[in-house]
C-alpha cells in the first residue's frame, strides 16, 4: 500500500509549495497533484519527478469528485496528507459577480473542501493530516469580498469542528489562515472589479506559509497563522465587535 500526499491547487502558489515540501518527506511514496490546467501539471511533474502523479480535475464539479473517489477505490492508498489548497477569490462588489460565478466560488472553496475530506478520511489513519486553506479573510466579515471571506469562514469553522469530531482517530485537521500571499490568485481576483480591495499590507511568500502550515499540522494544531501582521489581525478580530472591525477594514482599504 502506497503512502501518499494529495494536494489540490498543486499547480500554483501555496499548493505548489506543499508539493515541494512533500518531496522532502521520506515516508511519502507519491504526491497526487490536482488542478485543472494539464500543461501546468505536466511542467510540475517535469520539474518534480516521478513521485508526482497528476490529475486534471475541475473540483467545482461533482463529477470530478466522483472520479477522484473511483481512483481512491481502485488504488486504496494510505493517505498521510490531504491539502485542500484549490480555491479562488474575487475582490469586488456583489454587483460585479454573476450568480454563476458566486456559486462556483462557493462550490470550489467550500463544497470541494468538504467532499475531498470526506472522500479521503476512509483512507486515513493515525498520524494523517487534513490541511485546509482558509484565510485571514475568515476572521471577520469583509465587505467587497463578501462571498470570498464567507467561504473562508466556512473552511475555518468546518476544519476546526471536524478536527474535534476526528479526535480518537489520530487524524488531525488544520485550518491555515494566511494574510496576503504573493501568488497568481490576484490575477483572477482583480479582473473586472470597479470597487475593490486594493491595499495588500504585509504580503508574504507562499513557501513560508506552506512551511509554517506543515510545521503546525505536524504539531496537531487546529489553526495555523503565519506572520506578525496576520497574528495581530487574528487577535484584534477576537477582541473587536465585528461592526467596528468592518469599519476599520473599509477605512484601511479606502472603500
Ligand X SMILES: NC(=O)c1ccc[n+]([C@@H]2O[C@H](COP(=O)([O-])OP(=O)(O)OC[C@H]3O[C@@H](n4cnc5c(N)ncnc54)[C@H](OP(=O)(O)O)[C@@H]3O)[C@@H](O)[C@H]2O)c1
Residue 233 touching ligand X (CB under 6 A): no
User: x/- site string to ligand X, residues 108 to 127, per CB under 6 A?
Assistant: x-------------------
Give the shortest CB-136-to-ligand X separation in angstroms: 6
Closest by CA to 225, choosing from 150, 161, 145, 160, is 160
Stretch that binds ligand X, among 22-30, 65-73, 161-169, 180-188 (CB under 6 A): 180-188
User: x/- site string to ligand X, residues 138 to 177, per CB under 6 A?
Assistant: ----------------------------------------
CA quadruple 160, 162, 168, 171: dihedral sign: negative
Stretch that binds ligand X, among 24-32, 43-51, 183-191, 241-249 (CB under 6 A): 183-191
CA-to-CA separations, 166 to 126, 140, 161, 163, in angstroms, rounded: 10, 26, 9, 5
- Catalytic residue selected from 55, 81, 148, 226: 148
Binder among 52, 59, 105, 171 for ligand X (CB under 6 A): 59
Return the residues of window 4-33 that contact ligand X according to CB under 6 A. Answer: 8-15
Binder among 120, 128, 135, 253 for ligand X (CB under 6 A): 135
Question: What angle, 0 to 180 degrees and rounded to 10, lies between the N-to-C axes of helices 99-106 and 146-165?
Answer: 20
3-state DSSP assignment of residue 51? coil
Identify whether the C-beta of residue 130 lies closer than 8 Å to the C-beta of residue 159: yes
Residue 180 touching ligand X (CB under 6 A): yes
Which stretches does DSSP call E strand in the chain? 3-8, 30-35, 52-56, 78-84, 129-133, 172-176, 223-224
User: x/- site string to ligand X, residues 187 to 226, per CB under 6 A?
Assistant: -------------------x--------------------
Residue 37 touching ligand X (CB under 6 A): yes
Q: Give Cα 137 distance to the centre of its chain.
A: 12
Identify whether the C-beta of residue 19 lies closer than 8 Å to the C-beta of residue 97: no
Q: Which residue pairs from 242-247 have beta carbons closer than 8 angstroms and sit at least 24 positions apart in sequence?
A: 242/140, 242/141, 245/139, 245/140, 246/140, 246/141, 246/142, 246/143
User: Helices marked H in 35-178 — which ranges?
Assistant: 38-48, 62-75, 99-106, 112-120, 146-165
Binder among 28, 53, 166, 184 for ligand X (CB under 6 A): 184
Give the shortest CB-8-to-ligand X separation in angstroms: 6
Which residue's CB is nearer to ligand X, number 172 or number 177? 177
The question of whether 55 is a catalytic residue gets the answer no
Residues marked active site are found at 148
Interaction site with ligand X (CB under 6 A): 8-15, 35-37, 40, 57-60, 85-89, 108, 133, 135, 178, 180-181, 183-185, 206
Amino acid at each position: 500500500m502506497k503512502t501518499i500526499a494529495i494536494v489540490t491547487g498543486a499547480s500554483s502558489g501555496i499548493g505548489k509549495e506543499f508539493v515541494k515540501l512533500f518531496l522532502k518527506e521520506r515516508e511519502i511514496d507519491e504526491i497526487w497533484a490536482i488542478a485543472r490546467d494539464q500543461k501546468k501539471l505536466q511542467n510540475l511533474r517535469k520539474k518534480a519527478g516521478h513521485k508526482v502523479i497528476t490529475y486534471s480535475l475541475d473540483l467545482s464539479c461533482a463529477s470530478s469528485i466522483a472520479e477522484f473517489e473511483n481512483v481512491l477505490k481502485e488504488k486504496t492508498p494510505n493517505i498521510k496528507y490531504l491539502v485542500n489548497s484549490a480555491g479562488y477569490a474575487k475582490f469586488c462588489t456583489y454587483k460585479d459577480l454573476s450568480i454563476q460565478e458566486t456559486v462556483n466560488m462557493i462550490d470550489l472553496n467550500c463544497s470541494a473542501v468538504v467532499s475531498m475530506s470526506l472522500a479521503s478520511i476512509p483512507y486515513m489513519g493515525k498520524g494523517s493530516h487534513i490541511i485546509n486553506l482558509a484565510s485571514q479573510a475568515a476572521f471577520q466579515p469583509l465587505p467587497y469580498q463578501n462571498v470570498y471571506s464567507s467561504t473562508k469562514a466556512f473552511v475555518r469553522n468546518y476544519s476546526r469542528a471536524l478536527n474535534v469530531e476526528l479526535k480518537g482517530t489520530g487524524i488531525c485537521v488544520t485550518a491555515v489562515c494566511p494574510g496576503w500571499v504573493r501568488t497568481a490568485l490576484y490575477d483572477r481576483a482583480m479582473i473586472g472589479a470597479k470597487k475593490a480591495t486594493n491595499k495588500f499590507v504585509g504580503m508574504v511568500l507562499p513557501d513560508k506559509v506552506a512551511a509554517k502550515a506543515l510545521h503546525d499540522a505536524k504539531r496537531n494544531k487546529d489553526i495555523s497563522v503565519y506572520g506578525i501582521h496576520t497574528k495581530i489581525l487574528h487577535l484584534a478580530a477576537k477582541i473587536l465587535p465585528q461592526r467596528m472591525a468592518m469599519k476599520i477594514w473599509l477605512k484601511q482599504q479606502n472603500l
